[in-house]
Each structure stands twice: as structure tokens, then as C-alpha cells.
């Protein structure tokens, strides 16, 4: 009898230990993923040469001097705040709105209508995500030049829209399919047109999908470095291109302003993730796994 | 708009009107780019010396494939992709299994996981540049605390490729964790209950229940990560510009940029991008072929 209770107790202790181990392991994993990001944000607020100190200082008087320097004339001729930031905002928002409108109609048609070539279209939407964007830069460069829109925000908007449409259509397609047809049929019987039903019924019901798809589009446009590197020169540069300007001849890499720049680019993204995390996970799973 | 035929045929046209704008944008930009890219790849073209491309047939393909540096970059790309995707899948599976066991704060963990993967790869490059600096970087500081010799990281011939792999693994393991976690949570509980009654160990349950049931999700995640790691550009560009020391991190996309695009060999650049596409398709086919044989769950 006593032996048995000892065994039960041992099993219980083991299972608690195991749980502790899992929790610890997850904590270590999270620390590994988040610490580098936190470190850059911390470095951004370190004054002057504090960023270079080894052993690194954890306690210091936070200062905005790195941001002041970042926005000064030294980097990109002081155009970061008045030009790069608005460029990034305008391009990302315009691309996001364009993707949402186009994708809503396309995904609705794919989910609700039966038409010739529908399967081909579906495959086409999926397959176009396989193409490596790097493969398109040379022709895109000359296409934009021939259209006379090289180094304009329009060129970036066009490219980001085309690159993000497939994923958005994919996510929304799943969402529209999940809405029972009967709801719309009722609306049509009650005298609603197809478009009316789309806006009054489908739009609110697919809101989570729309939120997910639009945040993905926004973040990918906001984060894009590669396309902007090829398609912009002076006028339409966006924030991620800042990454190139912190290698200086006199001082090597300037850690302070670099961390400030990185933090500036990260902040909207982190805010979005925190606000819309639920939808993002759902969108990811739909976009990544479904099909 | 002109009215076409009877109301019935108009209704048949409706879906196309809804889909067309998207198709036009995708085809007009990406479709055009890839078609045009192929025709450029068949020419010798330096737009700033001779404005008209000179047709050379498959000459560029032959030239690239016989260039030792290009072949080196194919090798680097494959090693980079295999190393980072392999580590991401293993760590991602381990992470997903651990997170699934959590009782509390699952949501918080999931949210935190979203942050690295939503980070601009260019910024990830900057963060790790900060970490991997030989003199001021935290990684070497940690190594010295542990009494280990310091490493050159991205400034060292041997370490540059493992370093960029490490950054890719850091940024994309959370993606794998999230997707696999969603897969794990949608598994039915019954097979596990049956296995427990039959006295199966947890390892057996994982091997004979979890893996087969998760196969589809695992394959799709693997494909995604492979496709995306083959085209990685931003982080490598920032951490190992020009291919890094000894050009040991010269992936195909770096080769394309440094060796073809910058010196204005547009034909070569287009050819390199087609070779990236072909390699992507080949590896995709291999992955699908290998995993299809092992008992599909569909």
C-alpha cells in the first residue's frame, strides 16, 4: 500500500517536473526570438557611445539623441522624416487598399460562381506565389522605365499589389467559402443585388480575413527592401532602404542611429501584430496550410 | 459598357468581370515580367553600352553554368536552403510540441512568435549585424563569458554561411512553430486515447500517429520555407554583401545582383533569375515526389 502511494507520488512529481521543463524551454525559446529585437530597441535609446560599451550596459539614462541624429542632415541628407517616412506610409496604404478591393471581388467570384476556367485560375493564383520576385526585377526595371514611372511611388504600388494579391485572394477565398450561401440567397430574395449582398453580407462576415490579408499586405509592403532597392533612386525611396546608410567611412557602422532607424521601421509592425494577432494567426494558417 | 446578348449570357460573363481586374494586375506585372525575363535571358544586353539586345540563344545559360563562381553560388544556395530549412523544421516541430503542452499563456506565446517573422528582413539583418560584430557584438561577449574563443561571424570565411543560416533560422522558425502548432491542435484526440490504452510510448505515438496525421501540414510548411529560402535576399545582402568573406555566402540572388545586375549584364541577370526559378521548381518536385511515396494521407 505504502509502496503504491510512493509510486503515485513519484509519478506526480515527475509530471510536475516535466511541466516545469516545458515551460522553461518555451521561455528560453521566446527569449531567443525576442531578445535580439528588444536589444535593438534598447540600443536605440542609449546615448552616444554607450552603444559600443563592452560589457554592455543594461542601465543607462534613455536618450533620444540617436533619433535626433538619424533625422539630421547626416543620413540621406535629412530626408528620412520628410520624404522616406511619407513614401513608406503612402505606398503601403495604397497597395493595401488596392489589394483588398481587387481580392475581395476575385475571391468572391472564385468562391461563389461556377465558370469556365475557374480551376485554372485557382491554380494560377497559387502558382504565381511560387515565382521568386528576384526573377522579375530586371524586366520590371525596364517596364517601369518604359512607362516613365521608374522611381515613383506608383511603380512600387503596382509591384506590391501584384505580389500580394495571390495571398490575399487565397485567404479571402477560404473565408467566403466558409459563409453559408443561404444567407446571401435570403438577402437577394429580399431585393438585394449581388453587389449589395457582397457589401452588406459578405464584407462584414469576412472582416477577420480582410483584416488578416490587409495587415499582411501592409507589412510586406512596409518591409520590402529588395524591390525598392531596384525600382527607386532618389524620389521614392522607402524606409527599409535606410538599412544601407549606416556604414560610414569615418566611424564604421554607427550602431546608435542604426538601431534608431531599425526601431522606427519596426514599431508600426509590432503595433499591428499586437492589435491583430488573432486574425494574423488565422490568416497564416489559411494562407500557409489550406489547400 | 456595351450590353452583350441576352441576360443569360451576361450573367455568364459576370464572374470574369469580378476576377479580371486581379488577373490583369498579376499577369500585367508578374506574368509580363517573367515572359519578358525569358526573352531577355536569350540575349546579350548591356543597356548602357548597346541599347538593342543581341540574341545569343541559350548562350547565357551555357556561360553561367560553366562559370565556376556561378556553380559555387548554386552550391551555397543549396547549402543555405538545406541548412536553414532543416533546422527550422526540427526546431519548429520541437517548439510546436512544447507550446502545445502549455496550460497558460499560449496566446501570449503565439503573439510573441509573430513578431520576428513580421520583422522586415532588412531590419533582421541590421539586428544581427549588431549582434555579430567582432568587437562590440553581444554574441562574442557571451562567448567570452563562457570562456569560449571568439568567432569572426560574418567577417570570417568559415563562419559567414552558418551565420546567415542562423539569422534565417531565427527569423523563420516562429513561422514553422505557428503553422505546425495549428496543425497539432486540429488533430483528433481518439487515436491518442487508443494508443494510450494499447500502452504505446509517447515516442511511438509521435512516430505512428502525429507524424502521419501531420504529414500534409509538414510537407506544405517545408515547401513554403524551401521556396522562400531559395530566394532569400535582404538579410544576406545586408550581412554578407558581395558574398561575404571568400564569397562563401554568395547565394544565387547575390550572384544575380553583384555579378550581373550591377555590371549591367542584363541577359545574364535574367538568365540567373530563370535558373533560380528552375532550381526552385526542381527542388519542389523532388520534395513532392519524396513525400508522396511515403503514404499520402489525402
Residue of B120, B30, B1 whose CA lies nearest to A226 = B120
Measured between CA atoms, the residue of chain B closest to residue A132 is B231
Within a domain: A138: yes
pLDDT value of position B297:
42
The DSSP bridge partners found for residue A252 are: A248
pLDDT value of position A74:
85
Domain total of chain B? 2
Within a domain: B253: yes
Domain check: are A25 and A128 in the same one?
Answer: no
Domain check: are A79 and A37 in the same one?
Answer: no
Domain check: are B243 and B157 in the same one?
Answer: yes
- Helix B160-185 to helix B68-101 angle (10° resolution) is 40
B240-265: average pLDDT: 91
Residue B181, domain CATH: 1.10.3720.10
- Helix A255-289 to helix B106-118 angle (10° resolution) is 110
Q: How far apart are the first and last CA of chain B?
A: 46
Is the CB of B37 less than 8 angstroms away from the CB of A219?
A: no
The residue with cell 449570357 is B9
**Å from B73 to nearest chain A CA?**
15
**Å from B274 to nearest chain A CA?**
6
Is A72 within 8 Å of B157 (Cβ atoms)?
no
Q: Is the dihedral of CA A23, A24, A30, A34 positive or negative?
A: positive
Is the CB of B178 less than 8 angstroms away from the CB of A106?
A: no
Measured between CA atoms, the residue of chain A closest to residue B46 is A138
pTM: predicted TM-score of the whole model, two decimal places: 0.89
**Å from A100 to nearest chain B CA?**
10
**Å from B40 to nearest chain A CA?**
8
Is B162 within 8 Å of B188 (Cβ atoms)?
no
**Å from A2 to nearest chain B CA?**
25
Which of B22, B154, B221 is the best substitution to test chain A (most A C-beta atoms within 10 A)?
B22
Q: What is the ipTM of this complex?
A: 0.87
Within a domain: B49: no
- The predicted-structure confidence for A78-89, as pLDDT tens digits, reads as follows 888 899 999 999
Measured between CA atoms, the residue of chain A closest to residue B123 is A262
Please report, rounded to a whole number, the percentage of residues in chain B having pLDDT higher than 70.
94
Q: Give every residue of chain A whose pLDDT is below 50, as ranges.
A: 290-291
The residue with cell 506574368 is B31
Taking a contact as any Cβ pair under 8 Å apart, which residues of chain A between 222 and 241 contact chain B?
222-226, 229-230, 240
Domain total of chain A? 2
Domain check: are B26 and B63 in the same one?
Answer: no
Is the CB of A142 less than 8 angstroms away from the CB of B135?
A: no
Within a domain: B145: yes
Which chain A residues have a beta carbon less than 8 Å from that of B120? 222-225, 240, 265-266, 269
Is B171 within 8 Å of B92 (Cβ atoms)?
no
The residue with cell 522605365 is A145
Domain check: are B103 and B31 in the same one?
Answer: no
Any alpha helices (H) in chain A, and if so which ranges?
A: 2-44, 65-71, 85-112, 118-127, 137-146, 153-177, 181-189, 194-197, 203-205, 207-223, 226-231, 255-289
Q: How far apart are the first and last CA of chain A?
A: 55
- The predicted-structure confidence for B21-75, as pLDDT tens digits, reads as follows 998 999 889 888 889 999 999 999 998 888 888 899 999 999 999 999 999 999 9
Q: Which three cell numbers stand for residue B43?
A: 540575349
pLDDT value of position A288:
58
- The predicted-structure confidence for B195-245, as pLDDT tens digits, reads as follows 989 888 888 999 999 999 999 889 989 998 998 899 899 999 999 988 899
Within a domain: B51: no
A241: Cα separation from own chain's centroid: 16
Domain check: are A248 and A128 in the same one?
Answer: yes
* Mean pLDDT computed over every residue of chain B: 88
Q: Which three cell numbers stand for residue A255?
A: 550602431
Is the CB of B183 less than 8 angstroms away from the CB of A134?
A: no
Which residue segment(s) compose the domain that B15 sits in?
A: 7-41
Which residue segment(s) compose the domain that A37 sits in?
A: 2-44
Domain check: are B37 and B67 in the same one?
Answer: no
Amino acid at each position: 500500500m505504502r509502496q503504491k502511494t510512493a509510486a503515485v507520488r513519484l509519478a506526480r512529481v515527475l509530471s510536475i517536473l516535466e511541466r516545469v521543463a516545458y515551460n522553461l524551454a518555451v521561455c528560453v525559446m521566446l527569449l531567443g526570438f525576442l531578445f535580439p529585437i528588444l536589444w535593438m530597441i534598447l540600443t536605440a535609446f542609449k546615448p552616444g557611445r554607450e552603444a559600443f560599451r563592452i560589457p554592455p550596459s543594461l542601465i543607462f539614462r534613455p536618450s533620444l539623441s540617436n533619433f535626433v541624429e538619424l533625422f539630421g542632415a547626416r543620413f540621406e541628407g535629412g530626408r528620412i522624416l520628410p520624404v522616406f517616412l511619407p513614401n513608406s506610409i503612402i505606398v503601403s496604404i495604397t497597395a493595401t487598399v488596392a489589394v483588398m478591393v481587387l481580392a475581395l471581388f476575385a475571391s468572391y467570384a472564385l468562391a461563389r460562381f461556377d465558370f469556365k476556367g475557374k480551376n485554372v485560375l485557382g491554380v494560377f493564383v497559387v502558382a504565381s506565389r511560387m515565382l521568386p520576385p528576384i526573377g522579375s526585377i530586371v524586366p520590371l526595371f525596364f517596364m517601369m522605365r518604359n512607362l516613365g514611372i521608374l522611381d515613383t511611388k506608383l511603380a512600387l504600388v503596382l509591384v506590391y499589389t501584384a505580389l500580394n494579391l495571390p495571398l490575399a485572394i487565397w485567404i479571402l477565398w477560404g473565408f467566403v467559402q466558409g459563409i453559408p450561401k443561404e444567407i446571401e440567397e435570403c438577402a437577394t430574395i429580399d431585393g438585394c443585388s449581388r453587389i449589395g449582398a457582397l457589401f452588406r453580407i459578405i464584407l462584414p462576415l469576412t472582416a477577420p480575413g480582410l483584416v488578416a490579408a490587409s495587415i499582411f499586405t501592409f507589412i510586406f509592403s512596409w518591409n520590402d527592401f529588395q524591390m525598392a532597392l531596384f525600382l527607386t533612386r532618389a524620389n521614392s525611396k522607402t524606409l527599409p532602404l535606410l538599412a544601407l546608410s549606416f556604414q560610414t567611412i569615418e566611424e564604421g557602422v554607427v550602431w546608435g542611429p542604426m538601431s534608431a532607424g531599425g526601431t522606427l521601421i519596426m514599431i508600426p509592425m509590432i503595433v499591428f501584430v499586437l492589435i491583430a494577432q488573432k486574425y494574423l494567426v488565422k490568416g497564416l494558417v489559411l494562407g500557409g496550410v489550406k489547400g | 459598357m456595351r450590353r452583350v446578348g441576352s441576360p443569360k449570357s451576361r450573367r455568364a460573363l459576370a464572374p470574369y468581370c469580378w476576377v479580371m481586374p486581379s488577373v490583369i494586375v498579376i499577369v500585367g506585372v508578374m506574368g509580363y515580367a517573367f515572359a519578358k525575363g525569358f526573352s531577355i535571358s536569350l540575349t546579350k544586353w548591356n543597356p548602357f553600352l548597346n541599347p538593342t539586345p543581341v540574341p545569343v540563344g541559350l548562350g547565357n545559360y551555357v556561360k553561367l553554368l560553366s562559370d565556376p563562381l556561378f556553380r559555387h553560388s548554386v552550391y551555397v544556395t543549396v547549402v543555405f536552403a538545406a541548412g536553414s530549412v532543416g533546422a527550422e523544421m526540427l526546431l519548429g516541430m520541437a517548439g510546436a510540441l512544447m507550446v502545445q503542452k502549455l496550460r497558460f499563456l499560449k496566446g501570449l506565446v503565439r503573439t510573441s512568435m509573430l513578431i520576428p517573422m513580421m520583422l522586415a528582413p532588412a531590419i533582421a539583418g541590421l539586428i544581427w549585424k549588431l549582434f555579430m560584430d567582432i568587437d562590440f557584438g553581444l554574441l562574442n561577449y557571451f562567448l567570452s563569458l563562457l570562456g569560449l574563443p571568439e568567432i569572426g561571424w560574418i567577417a570570417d570565411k568559415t563562419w559567414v554561411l552558418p551565420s546567415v543560416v542562423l539569422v534565417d533560422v531565427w527569423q523563420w522558425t516562429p513561422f514553422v512553430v505557428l503553422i505546425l502548432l495549428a496543425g497539432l491542435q486540429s488533430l483528433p484526440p481518439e487515436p491518442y486515447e487508443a494508443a494510450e490504452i494499447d500502452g504505446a510510448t509517447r515516442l511511438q505515438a509521435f512516430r505512428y500517429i502525429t507524424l502521419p496525421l501531420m504529414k500534409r501540414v509538414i510537407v506544405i510548411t517545408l515547401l513554403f520555407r524551401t521556396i522562400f529560402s531559395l530566394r532569400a535576399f535582404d538579410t544576406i545582402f545586408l550581412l554578407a554583401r558581395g558574398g561575404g568573406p571568400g564569397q562563401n555566402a554568395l547565394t544565387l540572388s547575390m550572384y544575380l545582383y553583384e555579378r550581373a545586375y550591377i555590371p549591367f549584364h542584363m541577359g545574364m541577370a535574367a538568365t540567373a533569375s530563370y535558373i533560380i526559378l528552375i532550381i526552385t521548381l526542381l527542388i519542389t518536385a523532388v520534395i513532392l515526389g519524396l513525400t508522396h511515396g511515403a503514404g499520402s494521407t489525402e
